[in-house]
Structure 1
Amino acid sequence: MIKPELLAPAGDLEKLKMAVIYGADAVYLGGESFGLRKASKNFTLKEMKEGIDFAHERDRKVYVTLNIIPHDEDLIGIEEYLKDLRKIKVDGVLVADPGMFVKVRNTIQDMPIHLSTQASATNYETVMFWYNLGVRRIVLARELSLNEIKGIIKRIPEDLEIETFVHGAMCISYSGRCLLSNYMAGRDSNRGGCAHPCRWKYFLMEEERKGQYFPVYEDDKGTFIFNSKDLCMIEHIPELVKAGISSFKIEGRVKSQYYVATVVRSYRMALDEYLKDPNNYVYKPQWLDEIKKASYRDFTTGFYFNKPSGKDQVYTSSSYIRNYDFVGLVLDYDDKTRLATVSQRNRMFVGDEIEIFGPNKDFVTQRIEKMWNEFGEEIEVAPHPEQIVKIEMKQRVEPWDIIRKDRGSDSIG
């Protein structure tokens, strides 16, 4: 039995550090060009180097996405960029397009190449085609069942790794190859500019009855017919490990720092618990409960166990469920005074009931009794973004611990 890699998204430098601290074995990120997530902040080369150094110091890996489906104009400057990636010691790159593969192979021959899910690898012959060209990790298409994944893994060489998505948003188009965004908003999803039209509201109109809109589902306000539930496989860690999957991938480069920490932490705890003693592993519902304290849609297991049906869609809203706010990040703690120095992320009030959690440990609950600003003045509320405050703590906390609160628990506001 192999120990799978837990692979987390890093939309910016802060999220990279959070993913590493909270238990990711590796992160994937995009630079300012050639990747599929223009909506995330992404990385300059300087930021990428800082992130890679941070990860490597902790024995973690960093992969860079080059997974656009490029036109000729999109390949301008790629050779220089690839040489820069090698200089800053990137651990691998993801490609989806044969032309991009050739550019990487001809420019930096020693760089590990991972095949992106955008390449739609769904069968053994396709997997072996890319293996014979030199690819040593394949991110399979999300449209495969667990039995199909196991069938492929049983036949491939030992030095070929299989990566699959285990958590995050699902795309209604095959392996993300969507044309709706380009057609409706002029933004090419296959070149990084997806406008997410799958989350928009749609109506049905008969050709001869212009202006008469018929609900596609049982709701006279319209329906979100393309709006998939989010993938979540945390309840199925044993099946994923036994299948021989090498890397468990979490989606979400445009998600928040808090989301990344929360989801990575739960998967880290579940995976470690299983690997510690597979024969006596017991799934803990609180791992999923914790994930639900970040923003989420209702969950599905995608294609893993059966073909998705209407039950795997959300027809009423495209909004996320968000019951908790990330209100603070612990920067420091003084054992003598029991004061935590905190960077504010959403407003906090004296009297608020808060939860504090960190990597590989359960959360604790307390009330904010006293709070001071950076000038030592006692305050009742911390309203300013990233305001530095000190909070009296009931229990010891550590840097990188996160403070959250129930969204309905403002004591004043």
Structure 2
Amino acid sequence: IYDASTMVTSSRQINFWGQKAGASEAVLAREIPSAELFKMPEILEIPAEVLVYGASVIHHSKRPLLQNYYNFTHIDDEKTHKRDLFLAEPSDPESHYSIFEDNHGTHIFANNDLDLMIKLTELVEHGFTRWKLEGLYTPGQNFVEIAKLFIQARSLIQEGNFSHAQAFLLDEEVRKLHPKNRFLDTGFYDY
């Protein structure tokens, strides 16, 4: 699987990795607007996965940025996602970019988490049937229940019984289960 989720938005580049390196599937970048996304299936030669729920990484560094900061400020604190650390823009104190560090480096996430429940029919109509749900910031059983809601939506779509009203009802349930300190939106989808 070729994971282009943080750097590649070109179907031609994905095809290159499919042809030259044998990638069997691609994880599409999160910042592709639907108008561009819907043109991709005509060109893609391998299946593509789309994030439909959860935190969306916007930056990754292999460097231990949090540990470096802690060393500089003489802070001794936890760096995992469970600590709920975040960055805020000086000009926008309401911004909330989650950050954590692990063995793979430092990860920074978008201000809001993604929720495309009400867009699933459009995605399927354009050939995107491989969905990813990211549960990093959604605690245990709540994430399991959210995953079940997306499975229910998939079943209804496959049966031809998924209506706008059902999408909004399932979306309400997702929002009830989503962590209260994290906000949801459709990301770049509607741009």
For normalisation by structure 1, the TM-score amounts to 0.36
Aligned-pair CA distance for 1:143: 1.2
Q: Are 2:163 and 1:281 aligned?
A: yes
Secondary structure in 1 aligned to 2:14? helix
Aligned-pair CA distance for 1:299: 1.2
Question: Residue 262 of structure 1 aligns to which amino acid in structure 2?
Answer: E
Aligned-pair CA distance for 1:282: 3.8
State the alpha-carbon separation in 1 of the partners of residues 61 and 14 from structure 2: 22
Would you say how many aligned residue pairs link Structure 1 and Structure 2? Answer: 165
1:148 aligned residue: 36
Secondary structure in 2 aligned to 1:249? strand
Secondary structure in 1 aligned to 2:157? helix
Q: What are the Cα deviations for residues 104-144 of structure 1, in whole angstroms up to 9, with x where unaligned?
A: xxxxxxxxxx1124562210221111111211100011111
Q: What are the Cα deviations for residues 61-108 of structure 1, in whole angstroms up to 9, with x where unaligned?
A: xxxxxxxxxxxxxxxxxxxxxxxxxxxxxxxxxxxxxxxxxxxxxxxx
For normalisation by structure 2, the TM-score amounts to 0.72
Aligned-pair CA distance for 1:301: 0.4
CA-based RMSD: 2.9
Structure (1 or 2) with the greater helix fraction: 2
Aligned-pair CA distance for 1:198: 9.4
State the alpha-carbon separation in 1 of the partners of residues 134 and 28 from structure 2: 14
Q: Residues 224 and 198 (structure 1 numbering): CA distance in 2 closer, same or farther, change over 3 Å? A: farther
Q: Are 2:11 and 1:127 aligned?
A: no
**For structure 2, which runs of at least 5 residues remain unmatched after alignment?**
70-78, 99-110
Question: Residue 135 of structure 2 aligns to which amino acid in structure 1?
Answer: G
Deviation larger for 251-260 or 137-146: 251-260
Q: Considering Cα pairs closer than 8 Å and 6+ residues apart, tell me whether 1 or 2 has the greater RCO.
A: 2
Secondary structure in 2 aligned to 1:245? coil
1:185 to 67, 71, 88: 67
Q: Are 2:184 and 1:299 aligned?
A: yes
Is contact 2:55-2:136 (8 Å) kept?
Answer: no
Q: Residues 203 and 254 (structure 1 numbering): CA distance in 2 closer, same or farther, change over 3 Å? A: closer
Which entry has the higher C-alpha Rg, 1 or 2?
Answer: 1
2:97 to 226, 231, 238: 226
Q: Residues 126 and 300 (structure 1 numbering): CA distance in 2 closer, same or farther, change over 3 Å? A: same
Is contact 1:118-1:177 (8 Å) kept?
Answer: no
Q: What are the Cα deviations for residues 301-335 of structure 1, in whole angstroms up to 9, with x where unaligned?
A: 011111xxxxxxxxxxxxxxxxxxxxxxxxxxxxx
Aligned-pair CA distance for 1:274: 2.0
State the alpha-carbon separation in 2 of the partners of residues 256 and 195 from structure 1: 14
Matches within 5 A, 1:294-373: 294-296=177-179, 297-306=182-191
Question: Residue 286 of structure 1 aligns to which amino acid in structure 2?
Answer: L
1:136 aligned residue: 24
Q: Residues 295 and 119 (structure 1 numbering): CA distance in 2 closer, same or farther, change over 3 Å? A: closer
Aligned-pair CA distance for 1:291: 1.6
Q: Residues 253 and 273 (structure 1 numbering): CA distance in 2 closer, same or farther, change over 3 Å? A: same
Question: Residue 288 of structure 1 aligns to which amino acid in structure 2?
Answer: D
Q: Identity percentage over the alignment?
A: 19
State the alpha-carbon separation in 1 of the partners of residues 6 and 94 from structure 2: 30
State the alpha-carbon separation in 2 of the partners of residues 129 and 185 from structure 1: 37
Is contact 1:117-1:140 (8 Å) kept?
Answer: yes
Please identify runs of 4+ aligned residues in structure 1 that moved more than 6 A. none
State the alpha-carbon separation in 2 of the partners of residues 238 and 203 from structure 1: 35
